[in-house]
Structure 1
Amino acid sequence: MPAPLGDVAHLGHVELLTPDVEGSTWFFTEILGMTETRREGDSIHLRTFDDYEQTSLVLTAHTTTGVRRTALRASSEEALQRRVRAIEEAGGAGEWTDGLAGTGRTYLTHDPDGHEYALYYDTEWYVAPDDLRPGLKNQPQAKPRQGVGVRRLDHVNYLGADVEANAAWVEGLLGARPTEQIRLDSGRVAARWMTFTNKSYDIVYTEDWTGSSGRLHHIAFATDTREDILRAADLCLDNGVHIETGPHKHAIQQTFFLYVYEPGGNRIELCNPLTRLVLAPDWPLITWTEEERKRGQAWGLKTIDTFHTHGMPPVD
C-alpha cells in the first residue's frame, strides 16, 4: 500500500557539491539574491527570503559537482517514525545522525539509484537580524536588495538509471503523488514528476542516458514572477554566467523557466510555477508520449541536446 500523502511535509534543503565554492557562493548571493547565514568547515549555508527554516541550500567544497543530500521535513515526529519503519520493513538501509543546517535528529537513507535522502522533523525557524527584518510579520525575511530575489527552493530533478524503480520508492515509502510522466514508445518511463504537497511537483526523476546512477539533473528555485526570470537572464548575460536554454515555457507542468550553469558547474533552474497547484485529491497521472515530446517546449522551443547529456557529477 502506498504511503499516505502528508507524512512528508515538504522539501527542506539541498546540499550541493561544488569545486568552486566561492564562485558558487557569488552566484547564489549576487545573482540569485540569497543570504549567506553561516560557514561550517567546508560548507556555506544560504537561504531564500521566504523559506521559514534556517537554510535552503548548503554549498560544500568538493572535487566535483552534484547533490550530496536532499532533506525532507516530516509533518510530525510520528510521521517521521512511520516513514523510517516503512523504509526498514521494505528492506531499506538507513542510519540516524545529527541534523544539518539547523535540523534536529535526522534519518539518512537512499533511493534505489543511490541518491541520499535525509528525513527529519525538528528544525530551527529563521529569525532575521535587524538589517534583514521584513516590514510584514508574516514574512521570514526582507526581500533582498540585489540579484533576482528567489523566493524558495522549489524542486530537485535527479538523473536515474531506472526512473520507475526510483519513483516507486519515493511514492511507496515517502508518500509522494505522481502528477506527470513521459512514456517512450518502448513502454519505458523516461521521466516522472511527483509532489508531497499541492504544488505540482517537488521531486523529479529523469532517465540518465549514460546508464549511470546517483547523478543530478538540476535543482530549481522559484521566483515571484516571470519578469524575475527575464531579469535573471540579463544578469547572467551581463556577468558571464552560461545560459543553457530559455527563457521559455515547459509543456510539462507549464513552468516558465531559465536554465544556467553556476560557476561550479551545476545546472540551476529559475522557475515560475507559483500559479499552478494540484488541488484535486484524485488528480490523474498525465502521460506524455515520445511523439508529443519531440515537439519541444510549450511554444515550440526544441529541447537542447545538453539537456540530455549534461549531468552532475560528469561522466566520461
Structure 2
Amino acid sequence: MAPPLGDIAHLGHVELLTPDLDGSLWFFTTILGLTENGRSGDSVYLRTWDDYEHHSLTLTAHTTSGIRRTALRASGEAALQRRVEALRQAGLPGRWVEDEPGIGKLYVTQDPDGHEEALYWESEWYQAPDELRPGLKNQPQAKPVQGVGVRRLDHVNFLAADVASNAAFTHEVLGARPTEQIVLDSGRTAAQWLTFTNKSYDIVYTEDWSGAHGRLHHVAFATDSREDILRAADLCLDNGVHIETGPHKHAIQQTFFLYVYEPGGNRVELCNPLTRLVLAPDWPLVTWTEAERAKGQAWGLKTIASFHTHGTPPVD
C-alpha cells in the first residue's frame, strides 16, 4: 500500500553533469537568470530567485553529460526516517552523506533504473546579500535583471528502461501519486507523471528506447508567464542555443513549453504550468492511448523525433 501523500515535501534540487562547465554556467546564469551561490571543487551551486534554499541546481564538470543526483526534501525529520525505513524494507541500497553546502545529512539511494536520489530534511534558509535583497520581505531574493528569470526548478523527467517499475517505486516507496500516463496498445506503460504536492507533476518517467539505464530526458524550470517562454525562445535564437521544439502547449498536463539543449548537451525545458494544480485528493489517473498521442501536442504540433532519441549521457 502506498504511503499517504506528504512525507516528501517537494523536489529540492538536482545535480547536472556537463563536459562544458563554462558554457553550461553561461546558459543557466545569462540565459535563464540563475544566481551563483558558491563553488566546491568541480561544482558550481546555482539558485532560482524564488527558491528558499541554498541551491536549486548544481553544475559539475565531467567527461559527459547527464544527471547525477535528484534531491527531495522531506516534510520533517520523522517523515524522512519513515521514507528511509521504507527504502530499507524494499531492499534498496542507501547511505547517509553530508556533502552539499546548506544541506544537512542526505540519505542517498537510487530508483530501480539506477538514478541517484537523495532524501533530506535539514536545510539552510537562504539569506540574500545586500545586492540581491528583494523589495518585499516574503521573497527570498530580488528578481534577476538578466535572462529569462526562471522562478523555480519545476520537475525532472527521467529516462527508464522500465517505466512501470520506476513509477511504482516512486508511488509505493516515496509516496508520490500518479496523475497522468501513456499506455501503448501492447499494454506497456510508456510514460507516467507523478506528484508529491498539489502541482500536477514533480517526477516523470519516460521509456528509454535505447534500453540504457540511469539517463536523463530533461530538467524543467518554471517561468512566471507564457510570455517569459516566448522571450526565452528569442534569447536562445539570438545566442545560438539549440531549440529542439516549441514554444507550444502539451496535451498531457497542458504545460506551455520550450525545449532547448544547454551547451553541455542536457535537455532543458522552460515551462509554465503554474495555473494547473491537482487539488482533488481522489484525482483519477488519466490514461492516454497510443492513438491519442499520435495526434501530437495540444494544438497539433507533432512530437519531434529527437524527443524519443536524445537523452544524456548519450549512448551509441
* TM-score bracket for the superposition, by shorter chain length: over 0.9
Q: Which residue of 1 aligns with 2:40?
A: 40
4+ aligned runs moved over 2 Å, structure 1: none
What secondary structure sits across from 2:30 in the alignment? Answer: helix
Q: Which residue of 2 aligns with 1:6?
A: 6
Report whether the alignment pairs 1:285 with 2:285: yes
Question: Residues 1-316 of structure 1 correspond to what in structure 2 (within 5 A)?
Answer: 1-316=1-316
Deviation string 1:6-43 (CA, Å, 9 cap, x unpaired) is: 00000000000000001000000000000001111000
What secondary structure sits across from 1:231 in the alignment? Answer: helix
Deviation string 1:209-259 (CA, Å, 9 cap, x unpaired) is: 011111000000000000000000000000000000000000000000000
Residues 58 and 101, structure 1, Cα contact 8 Å, conserved in 2: no
Deviation string 1:47-105 (CA, Å, 9 cap, x unpaired) is: 00001101000000000011000000000000000000011011111001114141101
What secondary structure sits across from 1:174 in the alignment? Answer: coil
Cα distance in structure 1, aligned partners of 2:236 and 2:291: 33
Residue type of the alignment partner of 1:176? A
What residue ranges of structure 2 are gaps of 5+ in the alignment?
A: none
Cα distance in structure 2, aligned partners of 1:234 and 1:90: 47
Aligned CA distance change for structure 1 residues 184 and 101 (closer, same or farther; 3 Å) = farther
Cα distance in structure 2, aligned partners of 1:240 and 1:71: 31
Aligned pair count reads: 316
Cα distance in structure 1, aligned partners of 2:51 and 2:276: 19
Aligned CA distance change for structure 1 residues 101 and 11 (closer, same or farther; 3 Å) = farther
Deviation string 1:249-293 (CA, Å, 9 cap, x unpaired) is: 000000000000000100000000000000000000000000000
Cα distance in structure 1, aligned partners of 2:257 and 2:25: 22
What secondary structure sits across from 2:87 in the alignment? Answer: helix
- State the superposition RMSD in angstroms: 0.5
Deviation string 1:146-169 (CA, Å, 9 cap, x unpaired) is: 000000000000000000000000
What secondary structure sits across from 1:224 in the alignment? Answer: coil
Cα distance in structure 2, aligned partners of 1:258 and 1:42: 29
Which deviates the most, 101-110 or 273-282?
101-110
Cα distance in structure 1, aligned partners of 2:113 and 2:174: 15
Cα distance in structure 2, aligned partners of 1:4 and 1:62: 38
Cα distance in structure 1, aligned partners of 2:4 and 2:63: 39
The normalised TM-score by structure 2 is 0.99
What secondary structure sits across from 1:287 in the alignment? Answer: strand
Cα distance in structure 2, aligned partners of 1:203 and 1:270: 15
What secondary structure sits across from 1:252 in the alignment? Answer: coil
Cα distance in structure 1, aligned partners of 2:292 and 2:126: 44
Residues 217 and 311, structure 1, Cα contact 8 Å, conserved in 2: yes
Cα distance in structure 1, aligned partners of 2:14 and 2:99: 13
Cα distance in structure 2, aligned partners of 1:292 and 1:195: 23
Residue type of the alignment partner of 1:149? G
Residues 183 and 290, structure 1, Cα contact 8 Å, conserved in 2: yes
What secondary structure sits across from 1:87 in the alignment? Answer: helix
Cα distance in structure 2, aligned partners of 1:202 and 1:12: 10
Cα distance in structure 2, aligned partners of 1:153 and 1:122: 19
Q: Percent identity of the aligned residues? A: 78
Residues 107 and 119, structure 1, Cα contact 8 Å, conserved in 2: yes
Deviation string 1:109-168 (CA, Å, 9 cap, x unpaired) is: 000000000000000110000010000000000000000000000000000000000000
What secondary structure sits across from 1:103 in the alignment? Answer: coil
The normalised TM-score by structure 1 is 0.99
What residue ranges of structure 1 are gaps of 5+ in the alignment?
A: none
Cα distance in structure 1, aligned partners of 2:184 and 2:132: 49
